[in-house]
């Protein structure tokens, strides 16, 4: 489906990566998905993820933390994950940088933007993304990779596209300032077509891939 949408919207082939959202799915399900060539998996809960990461250590997988970050969990996130896609506070950036082992490669980071200004969701304003991005860019144990957003649910394709277009515009502007930025993480099971149409480079798919969560 991703490849066909790339063609539909004149995106280069393989320009959109799949992040399989595996929260509340078993290690066995992840192992099965990995057999199809999927290498990137997203988790929302630290304790749940730690068990799966340990059980699947024999596989070469990239683990993305995509849930709200609690200050008391930053060390465990820094120790276990390859990516953090939900950074939205300076304090958390400093903690992740300090707690990332220098023996590991830099922790890949996306700044989460709250496009719809929803109180129930994490993320900073679109106008604040550059300031936090600059901070991440200056920290030695973090690597600024891009922007992430979870817009408010919307069924209309055109309205979905309008929301994603705002984030894409800021992403491409910031990419001129920060050369390490290459990831625009937007689009989930119910809106990934609109995201791909507007330039997403990574879609986060859970239900459409694994089925309903247990």
Is the residue at 210 inside a domain? no
CB 203, CB 2: distance < 8 Å: yes
User: Residue 51 has what DSSP assignment?
Assistant: H
Give Cα separations from 28 to 13, 24, 47, 207 (angstroms): 30, 12, 17, 16
Give Cα separations from 189 to 9, 103, 150, 186, 210 (angstroms): 18, 36, 11, 11, 11
Is the residue at 214 inside a domain? no
End-to-end CA gap in the chain: 25
User: Which pLDDT tens digits describe the chain residue by residue (214 residues)?
Assistant: 899 999 999 999 999 999 999 999 999 999 999 999 999 999 999 999 999 999 999 999 999 999 999 999 999 999 999 999 999 999 999 999 999 999 999 999 999 999 877 676 789 999 999 999 999 999 999 999 999 999 888 999 999 999 999 999 999 999 999 999 999 999 999 999 999 999 999 999 998 888 876 5
CATH number at residue 73: 3.20.20.10
Is the residue at 213 inside a domain? no
Range of the domain at 162: 2-7+16-205
- What is the count of structural domains for the chain? 1
């Amino acid at each position: 489906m991703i490849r066909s949408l790339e063609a539909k919207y004149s995106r280069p082939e393989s320009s959109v990566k799949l992040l399989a959202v595996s929260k509340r799915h078993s290690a066995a399900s992840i192992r099965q998905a990995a057999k199809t060539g999927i290498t990137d998996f997203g988790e929302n809960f630290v304790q749940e993820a730690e068990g799966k990461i340990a059980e699947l250590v024999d596989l070469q997988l990239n683990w993305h933390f995509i849930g709200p970050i609690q200050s008391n969990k930053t060390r465990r996130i820094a120790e276990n994950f390859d990516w953090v896609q939900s950074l939205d506070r300076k304090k958390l950036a400093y903690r992740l940088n300090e707690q990332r082992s220098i023996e590991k490669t830099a922790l890949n980071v996306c700044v989460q933007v709250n496009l719809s200004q929803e109180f129930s969701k994490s993320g900073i304003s679109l106008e604040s993304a550059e300031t936090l991005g600059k901070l991440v860019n200056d920290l030695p144990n973090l690597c600024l990779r891009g922007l992430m957003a979870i817009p408010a649910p919307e069924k209309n394709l055109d309205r979905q596209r309008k929301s994603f277009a705002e984030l894409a515009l800021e992403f491409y502007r910031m990419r001129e300032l920060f050369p390490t930025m290459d990831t625009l993480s937007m689009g989930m099971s119910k809106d990934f077509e609109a995201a791909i149409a507007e330039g997403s480079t990574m879609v986060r798919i859970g239900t459409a891939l694994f089925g309903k969560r247990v």
